[in-house]
Each structure stands twice: as C-alpha cells, then as structure tokens.
Structure 1
Amino acid sequence: MPLASAIMLHAGERPHAPAFRMEGRVFTFGELAAAAGHILYAIEQSALHATGHSVLSGRVRLIALETGNHPLFAAAFIAAASGGNCAALIDPHQPASTRRRMTEKLRPEIVIRADGDLLQLDVPSAGQTHALEAFDGSSPIRVGDRAEPFLVVFTSGTTGEPKAIIRDRRSWRLSLETGRNFFGIGPETTTYAPGPLAHGLALYALVESLAAGAEFIGARHFQPRQALEVIGGADAKRLVLVPTMLRRLCEQAEGAALTSVEKITVAGAKLTPADRSAAASTFPTAEVTEYYGASELGFITVAGADDRHAATAVGKAFPGVRLAVLDDHGNSLSPGETGTIFVESALISDGYIPGCDGVGFRRQGRLATVGDLGFLDEDGTLHLIGRAGGMVLSGGNNIYPSEVEAAIMSAAGVSAVLVFGLDHPDLGSELAAVIQPNVGTFEREALERHLAAALPRYKHPRKIWFCREMPMTASGKIAAGQLRQWIAEGNGVLERLF
C-alpha cells in the first residue's frame, strides 16, 4: 500500500493511536495526517514563487528536507513525498559547505529547514523564506504514480563527495511489502530507531513502521542511558540500530535485561560474536537479524540466528534477490572464488542524478553492483571482503581493510576498530589500525597471536593505535576522517601500541 494511502487509512480508522515520537513529543496518526496536510499546503503556496526547475527538470517538484531528527520530520517527509513531489534528504550534520554543494546540485524548488521546534520553507530561486506558521490551510496527501521519482538520498562518493541516488515509488512500495512480510511488522510493533532520519536505515524503519500502523520512536541524539529509559518506558518491541549503538546499549545496561524487545534489526556493519552474546544477555527475548544492503541496491542479504556468523559472512539472499559473483570480464565465478558482487532485484534504484561522478553503481544487463567484493559459499552464504575503491595496495599486495577489521574484531578485548592505509615511501601504503579496547587490560601479545592465526603476515597492520572512545559520525559509524587527522597531528588522544 502506498505510504499516503496507509497514513490516511490509519488516521481514519485509528486517529488516536500513536504514530511518531521524538524527544517527548508524540503525534497520533490523526495529528500526523493533519500536520502533513498543513506542511503540504505551505509547500504548494511557497512553490508558486519558484522561478526555476530542479535537477529533475519539472518531472515532479523537488523538496529538500534539511531538518535532521526533528519532531516535525515525519509530517514534513509525508508532505514532501506526496504525489507530485519528490523528497531529497540532506543531513544537517554535514559541513555547511557540503550542504551548500548538495543544494546547488539538486536545485530544489523548496528547502525545508528547522526553526527551533518549528519549520521554515526557503524558495532558493526567489530568495524567499517563509515560516510554516504563516500558512493557514491544508492540502490532501496524494498517492503518486508508481514510476514517479519519490526519494533522493545521498551516499558517499569515491572522493568522499556525497552522491545523490534517486528512487521511484515502485521500488519502495515493493520493498515495504517484502520487508513487512519478512520482518513481521504489524501495528503492535513499536519501533525505536535513534539514527539520523536523513540516512537509509532509520528512514526506512520510520516509513515501514508508519505504513504498518505502528509507532516509531526516534531521537535527536543517541544517548545510551536515555535510550534504555525510552525503550523500557515505551515497551518498544523492535530496535533498528547500527552495531556501535547496540554495543553501547548493552554496556550501559550493565547486566540488566529488557524483556519487551522482540526484534533487533542491525545494518551498517557486521556484529561480532561478542556483540551477539551481549545482545542475548541484555535483550534475552529478542531475535537479532542483520542485513547487508546498499542505498543504490536495497536489501541484498539477511542473516538470522541460525545462519553462519563467520567473520566475513553476511547471510543469504534477501527474498526476491538473486546474487552473482563475477570476474572482471563478467563471467560467473565458482563458490569460494572472490569477485565483484552483483544483484538482480526489483529493489534496485534508478541510479545517480545527473552531475554525480557515476563511479560505484553500474549495471550489467539485469544485474547491478556498487563494486563490493566477495564470494559465495556452496550453500549460498555471501562473504563480503571489501570494496574495490577501499583496497589498500601495500608492497604489491592487495589488502581489503574490512577483512582485517573482521579479524581484529573477533579478538578478545576489542570493542571497535578501523583499518586503513597510510602513505609509505617504500611500500606505497602501509596498513594501520585504530582499536578501541574494552574496559580492562589489553594484551599486545594476545593480539599478535590472534592475527598470526587469522591472517597472512602481509595483512597485519604495521601501526596500531588505541583510542579509548572512538569519534563517531551522526549515523553511528566511526569518524575515519577525524582519526586520520589525529594521527597526522600526533594527537594525545591516541595511544601508540606499535
């Protein structure tokens, strides 16, 4: 069912049921539908002043949302994605210069930004700004055509410059239907997902929750202690997290068990055996499901409790997805042979908007890839080795940091790790790692023995630093740029191991 239809259905049948909660502010489905109608009216009235078309060339009206995790985000998203509109999500935590380039690339008719607890609507082509409360009216939320552009999200480019990916309504509707059946989401599945709503993981959790008639609970900022209070107070049934968030929740719980949680969905990185053990202790009644995907491709694989959890294994094909591993000439490889991972799926995006570098996502007939490398087992389990663009060439050897990270994460005493290449005058690059240890002592000799058993010598990091608290991005991932800067500066927050 289209999102617009679902919202109006729930608003009509269950108007007082909670739909969206952010920082203590709760919208029922009736209130959410009313707020979305008000914002849509403001969009339509503001757009009358626009003097130019967006990068979509007038196919639909492009509405950029730069609100971040705001109490009015859900209503603004529903309005911005209403039929005839396409929502583009810009993370306000990006540097101002990056956000400016993103906006210049998109040329949206309207940009919606936070104004305290309210919103403002900018019309860039007309140089106008309007406060939401200046508009007194409402427009009906409309269902868009299946082939209509619906959503633009940004992913990192090969140079770190974000690239804009566009999706039509058909792929998202199919994804929501497939995901609802697979994950078992219903009106009772209260979901807590504290990640940035400008990113795919939390955004998808929001939309699938609202479509199912379930309450979605977000957070402006992830704080483990506060998160545990919200989860317990709301009797949240499902958590949608990146691994670092799950680890911090388990650490904060300090052995206490939360029994309301029935499902935990994890993506963005791989869980370690220690993560699964901690989750089983903190959330003893929860089924933990990991999925591997890409903004350009949608769901790729999924792994549950009964699947293999080897260091590089990321599960088996998601329902409706076919996997293929090809060599550089496009030939299928046998099980165990590493090549480029391709996907055939109805969930694949339309690719990048004009003006992006185009590197990464590419099609080969009905197949598509983002350049990830891996291999398939005989039983269909996919192993992720790394991404072609992330390879480190050291002393003539090709090394994929994700493989080394997986090996280090399986060592005792490791809470988080980042592996990358540093320039070296002789080797070209040398492998380096920053490790966040668990509380307690860390034995260098034990790590060396572990690496010797897990990896060939040339894949061992030549330099390792300790970081007691990894810097994190807004999406809950390790801030690689910050770590590189600290290394270059010789910042004392890093402790050299060897």
Structure 2
Amino acid sequence: MTGLWNIAAAHPDQCALVDPDGKELTYRELAAAADRYGRGLQAMGLEPGDSIVLMLPNSAELVAVYFAALQTGLYVVMVNWHLVGPEVAYLVEDSGAKAFIAHERFAEVAADAAARAGLPSEARFAVGEVAGFQPLSRLGENEPEGRPDVRTSGSPMLYTSGTTGRPKGVRRPLTGADPDVVAPAAPWFFGIFGIFGIKPFDGHVHLCGSPLYHTAVLNFVVISIQLGHTAVLMDHWKPEEMLRLIERYRVTHSHMVPTQFHRLLALPDDVRSRYDLSSLRTMIHGAAPCPIEVKRRMLEWWGPVVIEYYAATEGGGTAISAEEWLRKPGSVGLPWPTSEVKILAEDGTELAPDERGLVYMRMGTATFEYHKDAEKTRAARVGNLFTLGDIGYLDADGYLFLCDRKSDMIISGGVNIYPAEIEGELVCHPKVADVAVFGVPHPDWGEEIKAVIQLADGVEPGAELTEELLAFAGTRLAKFKLPKSIDYVAELPRDPNGKLYKRKLRDNA
C-alpha cells in the first residue's frame, strides 16, 4: 500500500512527517490538510494546469500545500527564499500564478513581490502575519469536508538557476494520472540509490536537512512520504543537530551536499563519536562537486552507505555506489537505467573515451521545455539530448567524470584550467573552511587564477597564511594551476544546497 491517501486510509496513525519544531503529523492529518487546501484552491477557481507559488521554509504547511497541488493538477513553483522582491515577482508573473503562499519570515519580500506582480489580495495566503495576505488557515475552511472535486496529478515547475539571464521554469506536460497512484518512477528512482523499502512500517526514515525549494530535496521528501517513510524536516541545518536527529529518529536515508560533509568532518572527534549512527542505510549526495579527500573521510566514518549522483532538474543522471567510487575515485557514476549520457564537442560530434567535452543527457522519452523561452530550449539541445553546460568525460567503462562548468572554466595562456580541481585541493587544508576559484582578466594571459577563501574559525588572514596555502597547493597541483592571488572573506556566497554564486565574487574582484 503506497501513496499518501492510501496509507492514510489503511494506516491513519502512522507518522508521515516530523516538523522542525518536533511536532509529529500522522498520515491522516497530512492528508486532511492537503484535502482542505486542495478544496480551497479549487473554490478559488484554480483548474488543472494553473500555477501556484510557495515561499515557505521547511514545514508541515509546505508539504501539505504541495500535496494539495499534486492532487488537483496544479503546477507548483518553489521560491528560493534568499531572493529579493523583484526576483520573486518575476517568478509569480512568469509562471502565471493564481495563488501565492508565503511565510511571515519573508514578509517584507513577499509583500513587495505580490504588489509588484499585481496579485489580488484574495490570492495571497500567509503562515503568520504578512501585510496584505490572509491566513493560510482560511484556505478551504468553509468548504465541505472530503477530497477535492477534481483530482488529477499536478507537477512541480522548478526554475533553473539562471547562469545567464533570468531563470527559466522547467515545465513538463501534465500526465492526467490518478494522484492516489504512485507512479512507478518513484520506487524506481529510489531503487537507483538502494532504497527499496516500499511498505509502510519497513523502518525507513528520511532526514531532510536542505531547503525544499531544491529539486532533489523536494523529490526525496515527497517520494519518501508516498512510499510510507517518515520524513523528518530540519529548518536550519547544523552538523551536530543532524547527528542528534539521526540517533533520535533512527534515520535511514538522507540527501546531502558536500559542504555539509565538510562541516560534519570539522566537528571534534568526541562529538562525532557521541551519537549512534548505526541506522544509516543510504546517504545520498550531489548538487555540487565533492573533493576526493572529503569523500574518502566520510566513507571511513560512515562506511559504504554514501552514494553520489549527478542529475538535472531537466531530467536524467548518473549514480555511483561507495564500492564503485573506491575503484573510480572522483567519478559520479554510470547513467541511470533509461538515462543516456554522451560527451559532445562544440560542433555536436561525439567524443571518444577520456576526451573532455560538454556533458549531454536525456531521460528515456521524457520531454521538457523552458517556460516561455523556446530559444533557450533549442540552445540546450542536440537532437533529443540536452546539456547543463558541464564539462566532463567518460572513461573506457562508461563512468562519468566531471571537470567543471563551461562558464567557470579558466583559459590562461590558451590552457584550459578547471577551478573545481583547485578548490578540491585547497579545501583540504585544515585552516580552510570553504574556497572559490575563478578567473580574472589578465592583459597578457587572458585570465589568471584567483582564490577567495573562507577561513576556519579562529584563523586570521595574512601574507604568511597566503604563502602557507600556496605552498600546500604546490605539493598537490601543477604550477600553472596555482592561484596568482588569494583574497579572504568572512563567508562565501553559497545557498543552503551548496551552490556557489561565483558571479558575486567576480563582480567584486
């Protein structure tokens, strides 16, 4: 028995969700909230194919509204709550949203965005107090109890990061499927990572430590609930708190990013050994490159439960188990079943093993389009393959290795230099907490290498430290890969998913 509403009927008192404040929601309670919000949205006149925008922190409200949309055929746009008013207004307008639901934590930005987008007050709902918004508790409160009248599967409409220009929504055709039936792709997707439990009470517990506006994070929580796994939500990720929750709820699987690994490894040995982590079965990481040494140390600590993947909102990807990675260190794995990966040159020709080029993928017969941007859709494709702009290569066994993003590659004196490689070495120095490497203009060489470093707590910057770091890097990298200058900042501009905003650093370089 799978699916939120089916489990709610068969096992109503099973725990579906643990809110960040520790409150536990049963399947019956979560399904009832999703039904109430779904009825309310339909009473507003929303129909299958319409869109709503959510600007909410990890919370029971977010999950309930998402399931409400999922059963009423709506597209759901998840807002990165680090955005400012005009950026959020763009998402509301571009998606054609018929409702906007925000949290009082983001009140100023949400009110600004709603006003800019011209969204009527009756279409604005808030958790807490937001000027011009009505309480979310009113959504569906006067509607008859029961399921919404029209039930058909909705879909997330997730906006890409927008490395150039404004972000674009990835919009897939609605399937028309019964929302009570879990698509076969859900257990298949979890099976890629060795998460095979699809029965309620099978002991699976998912820990969510990253914001649900991230594609993979959202997928893992929703699928976990659909398959009868309890989902434990964190609001703000903290390394020791994660270890406490793993022990408290006997967590079996989670989705992580490499910066979280780095912060966990920075904990004192007595803290790391204080918690019982024996429940762990599958700890999945992706979203950003993981330095080889960091990955090795996590495997030494947690054992062979660490699995890596490379994927795209647009579809398709690769995965690699711990055992495979130890044989192929640095690889992000083999293509998923039904997924295809190729390395193409700039002219679209396929490259031989070990030759570096643009990584192209596709996922079975799945299709997508960038909302209102046919040109971007065409530019990202060669035939039925698409690219995210990453550079990599396939080895003779078909394993994918990533080098860097094409937009981040440094060309100095005609030589291609990949910042990710340099970052992966510098971050291994014990005085370095985080690092970004990029190219800055040089009159003779075209570009030269600059590093911007966030130091570990208690470490002071200075000329002597710069010499120490360059000497350390010189033992691990060829001379032409060494930074020509190092700057220090209090904190690098990363989002909670690990994405580094190098554009902000370049602008200030």
3-state DSSP of counterpart to 2:332:
coil
Any idea what SS the aligned residue of 2:278 has?
Answer: coil
User: Aligned partners of 1:214, 1:448: CA distance in 2, in Å?
Assistant: 47
Contact 1:312 1:406 in 2 (8 A): no
The letter of the residue matching 2:27 is F
Distance 1:393 1:47, change over 3 A: farther
Alignment of 1:77-476 (within 5 A): 77-115=66-104, 125-128=119-122, 129=124, 130-134=134-138, 135-137=141-143, 138=145, 140=147, 144=152, 150-159=155-164, 161-168=166-173, 173=183, 175-182=185-192, 183-186=194-197, 187=200, 188-252=203-267, 253-257=271-275, 258-280=277-299, 282-284=301-303, 287-308=305-326, 312-346=330-364, 348-355=366-373, 358=376, 362-409=380-427, 414-436=432-454, 448=470, 451-452=473-474, 454-467=476-489, 470-476=492-498
Counterpart position of 1:63? 52
CA–CA distance in structure 2, aligned partners of residues 248 and 409 of structure 1:
11
Partner Cα separation in structure 1 for residue 64 and residue 173 of structure 2 = 20
* DSSP-derived class of the 1:289 partner: strand
Structure 1 pair 361–296 and aligned structure 2 pair: CA distance change class (3 A): farther
Q: Distance in 2 between matches of 1:247 and 1:310?
A: 21
SS at match of 2:341: strand
Amino acid at match of 2:40: A
Residue 47 of structure 1 is aligned with which of 34, 45, 48? Answer: 45
| Mapped contact 1:168–1:350 kept (Cα < 8 A) | yes
Percent of paired sites with the same residue: 26
Runs of at least 5 residues in structure 2 that lack an aligned partner in the other structure: 125-133
- The AA in structure 1 aligned to 2:249 is A
The one of 9, 14, 28 aligned to 1:12: 9
Letter of the structure 2 residue corresponding to residue 217 of structure 1: V
Secondary structure at the aligned position of 1:292 is classed as: strand
Counterparts of 1:309 and 1:273, CA distance in 2: 12
CA distance 1:139–1:479, change in 2 (3 Å): farther
CA RMSD of aligned residues (A): 3.4
Aligned partner letter, 2:244 = E
Does structure 2 conserve the Cα–Cα contact (< 8 Å) formed by 1:61 and 1:86?
Answer: yes
Contact 1:323 1:341 in 2 (8 A): yes
Q: Is contact 1:70–1:114 with CA below 8 Å preserved after alignment?
A: no
Displacement after TM superposition at 1:73 (Å): 0.9
Displacement of 1:40 in angstroms is 0.7
Q: Relative to 1, partners in 2 of residues 1:356 and 1:463: Cα closer, same or farther, differing over 3 Å?
A: farther
Bigger shift: residues 75-84 or 208-217: 75-84
Q: Decide whether aligned partners of structure 1 residues 427 and 273 sit closer, same or farther in structure 2, where only a CA change above 3 A counts.
A: closer
Normalised by the length of structure 1, the TM-score is 0.83
TM-score normalised by L of structure 2: 0.81
Q: Report the Cα distance in structure 1 between the residues aligned to 2:157 and 2:485, rounded to whole angstroms.
A: 39
Residue 351 of structure 2 aligns to a residue in which SS? coil
Q: Is the 8 A contact 1:67 1:73 kept in 2?
A: yes
Asked whether the 8 Å contact 1:325–1:339 carries over to 2, the reply is yes
For residues 189-226 of structure 1, give each alpha carbon's deviation from its aligned partner in whole angstroms, at most 9, with x where no partner exists: 10111101011121011112012110111122112233
Distance 1:463 1:100 in 2: 39
Distance 2:279 2:237 in 1: 20
2: CA distance, partners of 1:211 / 1:456: 49
Closer/same/farther in 2, CA of residues 354 and 38 from structure 1, 3 Å limit:
same
Instruction: Give the 3 Å change call, closer, same or farther, for CA 245–412 of structure 1 in structure 2.
Output: closer
Greater mean deviation of Cα atoms: 214-223 or 344-353: 344-353
Q: Which amino acid aligns with 1:177?
A: P
User: Distance between the aligned counterparts of 2:184 and 2:349, measured in 1?
Assistant: 30
Query: 2 CA distance for matches of 1:342 and 1:375?
Result: 11
Say which is worse superposed, 220-229 or 359-368, in terms of deviation: 359-368
Q: Cα offset for 1:283?
A: 3.3
Superposed displacement of residue 392, structure 1: 2.6
Counterpart residue type for residue 256 of structure 2 = L
Question: Separation in 2 of the partners of 1:393 and 1:468?
Answer: 28
Q: How far 1:275 sits from its partner (Å)?
A: 2.5
Contact residue 341 and residue 374 of structure 1 kept, 8 A: yes
3-state SS of paired residue (1:341): strand
Note if contact 1:192-1:218 (Cα within 8 Å) is conserved in structure 2.
yes
Distance 1:143 1:40 in 2: 9
Contact 1:397 1:458 in 2 (8 A): no
Output the amino acid matched with 2:162: G
Asked if structure 2 preserves the Cα contact closer than 8 Å seen for 1:194 and 1:218, the reply is yes
Q: How many equivalent residue pairs? A: 470
State the SS of the aligned residue for 2:44. Answer: helix
Kept after mapping to 1: 8 A contact 2:355/2:394: yes
Quote the offset at 1:33 in angstroms.
0.3
Q: CA deviation at 1:139?
A: 5.1
Letter in 2 for 1:179: F
CA contact (8 A) 1:272 1:311 kept: no
Cα deviation for residue 265 of structure 1 reads: 0.6
Answer yes or no: is the 8 Å Cα contact 1:297–1:347 preserved in 2: no
- Residue 447 to residue 474, structure 1, CA distance change in 2 (3 Å): closer
Secondary structure in 2 matching 1:418: strand
Moved more, 261-270 or 409-418: 409-418
